[in-house]
Amino acid sequence: MEFFRGLHSLPPDAKPGPGPCVATIGNFDGVHRGHQQLIGDLKKEGERRKLPVAVVVFEPTPQEFFAGDGTPARLTRFGEKYHLLEDAGVDKLVCLKFGSELSAMSPSEFVQRLLVGGMQLRHLAIGDDFRFGKDRAGDFSFLVQSGEQAGFTVARTDSFVLDAARVSSSGIRQALKQGDLAQAERWLGRPYGMTGRVIEGEKLGRRLGFPTANIHPRRTVCPVHGIYAVRVNGAGLERWPGVASIGSRPTVTAGEEIVLEVHLFDFSGNLYGASLEVLLLHKLREEKHFASVEALTEAMKDDADQARQVLGLKRN
For 11-35, the pLDDT digits (tens) are 988 888 898 999 999 999 999 999 9
- How far CA 275 is from CA of 102, 196, 239, 263, 272, in Å, comes to 34, 5, 14, 15, 9
C-alpha 69/C-alpha 74 separation (Å) is 13
Do 217 and 306 lie in one domain? The reply is yes
199 and 149 housed in the same domain: no
Residue ending a domain, among 147, 162, 177, is 162
Residues 157 and 26 in one domain: yes
CB 175 within 8 A of CB 162: no
At 44-93, the pLDDT tens digits run 999 999 999 999 999 999 888 888 777 889 999 999 999 999 999 999 99
The CATH code of the domain that includes 31 is 3.40.50.620
Query: Domain check: are 265 and 207 in the same one?
Result: yes
For residue 100, which amino acid is it? S
Give the burial string for 72-106 (b: 16+ CB within 10 Å, else e). bbbbbeeebbbebbeebebbbbbbbebeeebeebe
Task: Tell me whether residue 180 is in a domain.
Answer: no
Considering the domain architecture, whether residues 300 and 198 belong to the same structural domain is answered as yes
**Co-location of 47 and 97 in the same domain:** yes
Burial 9-23 (b: 16+ CB within 10 A, else e): bbeeeeeebbbbbbb
Bond before 72 cis per omega within 30 degrees: no
Residues 204 and 299 occupy one common structural domain: yes
Q: Quick check: is 172 in a domain? A: no
**Residue at 254: amino acid letter:** A
What is the pTM (predicted TM-score) of this model?
Answer: 0.92
Structural domain of 254: 191-310
Residues 36 and 143 in one domain: yes
- Number of structural domains, the chain? 2
